[in-house]
Structure 1
Amino acid sequence: MTAAVTTCHGGPECIEVRHDWPIPNVGAGQVLVRVAAAAVNNTDIWSREGAYGTAADPQAVVGWKGVPLAFPRIQGIDIAGEVVRVGGGVDDGWVGRRVIIDPAFRSEGEYPADIVGSEVDGGFSQFHLCAERQLHDVSDSPLSAVQLACLPTAYGTALGMINRAECVAGERVLVTGSSGGVGMAAVQLLVDRGCEVVAHTSASKREVVAGLGVAEVSVRGQDISKVSPVDAVMDVVGGDEFGAMIDRLRDGGRLVTAGAIAGPVVPFDLRRLYLNHRRIIGSTMHTLGDFADLAAIAVAGGVEPVVAETYPLTDIAKAQRRFAAKDFVGKLLLEP
Structure 2
Amino acid sequence: MDALGEAVLSGEAPERWQSLPPPTEYLAAHTLAEEVDAFRGVADKDVRKTLHVGLVPMPEIAPDEVLLAVMASSINYNTVWSATFEPVPTFAFLERLGRQGGWAARHARPHHVLGSDASGVVVRVGAGVRRWKAGDRVVVSCVQADDQEPATHADGMLGGEQRIWGYETNFGGLAHYTVVRASQLLPKPAHLTWEEAASIPLTAATAYRMLISDRGARIKQGDIVLIWGATGGLGGYAVQLVKNAGGIPVGVVSSHAKAELLRGLGCDVVIHRGEIGIGAAPESPAQTIEYGKRLGRAIRKAVGEDPHVVFDFIGRATFGISVFVVRRGGAVVTCGSSTGYVHQFDNRYLWMNLKRIIGSHAANLQEQAECIRLVSLGMLSPILSEVHPLEDVGEAARRVQRNLHVGKVGVLAMAPAPGLGVTDPELRARIGEQRLNPLRPAATRETAAA
Contact 2:67 2:124 survives alignment (8 Å): yes
Between Structure 1 and Structure 2, how many residues are aligned? Answer: 327
Alignment partner, residue 38 of structure 1: 73
Residue 293 of structure 1 is aligned with which of 364, 370, 380? 370
Residue 281 of structure 1 is aligned with which of 341, 358, 362? 358
Residues in 1 aligned to 2:58 and 2:371: alpha-carbon distance in whole angstroms: 29
Alignment partner, residue 346 of structure 2: 269
Contact 1:30 1:130 survives alignment (8 Å): yes
Contact 2:94 2:109 survives alignment (8 Å): no
Pair 1:201-2:253 in alignment:
yes
Distance 1:87 1:268, change over 3 A: closer
More helix as a share of residues? 2
Structure 1 residue 190, shift from structure 2 partner: 1.9
Unaligned runs of 5+ in 1: 54-60
- Kindly provide the amino acid, as one letter, of the partner of residue 230 in structure 1: P
Pair 1:161-2:210 in alignment:
yes
The superposition leaves residues 107-126 of structure 1 with CA deviations (integer Å, 9 ceiling, x where unpaired) of 23223622211222101111
Alignment partner, residue 12 of structure 1: 48
Residues in 2 aligned to 1:151 and 1:201: alpha-carbon distance in whole angstroms: 21
Alignment partner, residue 242 of structure 1: 319
Pair 1:317-2:369 in alignment:
no
**Matching of residues 97-246 of structure 1 within 5 Å:** 97-107=136-146, 108=149, 109=152, 110-111=156-157, 113-118=162-167, 119-138=169-188, 140-162=189-211, 163=213, 164-204=216-256, 205-221=258-274, 222=276, 223-226=294-297, 227-228=299-300, 229-246=306-323
Distance 1:42 1:70, change over 3 A: farther
Contact 1:309 1:331 survives alignment (8 Å): yes
- Kindly provide the amino acid, as one letter, of the partner of residue 248 in structure 1: V
Structure 1 residue 308, shift from structure 2 partner: 1.9
SS at match of 1:230: coil
More strand as a share of residues? 1
Residues in 2 aligned to 1:64 and 1:216: alpha-carbon distance in whole angstroms: 43
Alignment partner, residue 441 of structure 2: none
- Kindly provide the amino acid, as one letter, of the partner of residue 194 in structure 1: G
Distance 1:170 1:17, change over 3 A: same
SS at match of 2:328: strand
Alignment partner, residue 279 of structure 2: none
Structure 1 residue 63, shift from structure 2 partner: 6.6
SS at match of 1:169: coil
Alignment partner, residue 56 of structure 1: none
Alignment partner, residue 331 of structure 1: 408
Residues in 2 aligned to 1:64 and 1:253: alpha-carbon distance in whole angstroms: 38
Structure 1 residue 224, shift from structure 2 partner: 0.5
Distance 1:25 1:305, change over 3 A: same
The superposition leaves residues 265-301 of structure 1 with CA deviations (integer Å, 9 ceiling, x where unpaired) of 3332212111211111111211232212122122112
Unaligned runs of 5+ in 2: 1-25, 39-46, 97-107, 277-293, 301-305, 414-450
- Kindly provide the amino acid, as one letter, of the partner of residue 175 in structure 1: I
SS at match of 1:323: helix
- Kindly provide the amino acid, as one letter, of the partner of residue 47 in structure 1: S
Residues in 2 aligned to 1:151 and 1:327: alpha-carbon distance in whole angstroms: 20
Residues in 1 aligned to 2:196 and 2:164: alpha-carbon distance in whole angstroms: 21
Structure 1 residue 94, shift from structure 2 partner: 3.1
Residues in 1 aligned to 2:272 and 2:374: alpha-carbon distance in whole angstroms: 29
Alignment partner, residue 120 of structure 2: 81
Contact 1:141 1:301 survives alignment (8 Å): no
Q: Percentage identity across aligned positions?
A: 30
Q: What CA RMSD, in Å, does the superposition of the two structures yield over aligned residues?
A: 2.3
Contact 2:312 2:318 survives alignment (8 Å): no
Distance 1:141 1:171, change over 3 A: farther
- TM-score between both structures, scaled by the size of structure 2: 0.67
- Kindly provide the amino acid, as one letter, of the partner of residue 178 in structure 2: H
Alignment partner, residue 90 of structure 1: 129
Alignment partner, residue 57 of structure 1: none
Distance 1:73 1:62, change over 3 A: closer
Residues in 2 aligned to 1:190 and 1:35: alpha-carbon distance in whole angstroms: 31
Contact 1:51 1:63 survives alignment (8 Å): no
Distance 1:5 1:275, change over 3 A: closer
**Structure with max Cα Rg:** 2
Contact 1:24 1:128 survives alignment (8 Å): no
| Greater displacement, 158-167 / 67-76 | 67-76
- TM-score between both structures, scaled by the size of structure 1: 0.89
Alignment partner, residue 58 of structure 1: none
Contact 1:47 1:64 survives alignment (8 Å): no
Residues in 2 aligned to 1:12 and 1:303: alpha-carbon distance in whole angstroms: 32
The superposition leaves residues 141-184 of structure 1 with CA deviations (integer Å, 9 ceiling, x where unpaired) of 42221111111221122112112111123311111111111122
Structure 1 residue 66, shift from structure 2 partner: 11
Contact 2:28 2:54 survives alignment (8 Å): yes
Alignment partner, residue 443 of structure 2: none
Structure 1 residue 253, shift from structure 2 partner: 0.7
Residues in 2 aligned to 1:175 and 1:63: alpha-carbon distance in whole angstroms: 33
- Kindly provide the amino acid, as one letter, of the partner of residue 125 in structure 1: A
Residues in 1 aligned to 2:403 and 2:333: alpha-carbon distance in whole angstroms: 24
Contact 2:79 2:397 survives alignment (8 Å): no
Structure 1 residue 67, shift from structure 2 partner: 7.6
Alignment partner, residue 253 of structure 1: 330
- Kindly provide the amino acid, as one letter, of the partner of residue 85 in structure 1: R
- Kindly provide the amino acid, as one letter, of the partner of residue 372 in structure 2: A
Residues in 1 aligned to 2:315 and 2:197: alpha-carbon distance in whole angstroms: 28
Structure 1 residue 87, shift from structure 2 partner: 2.3
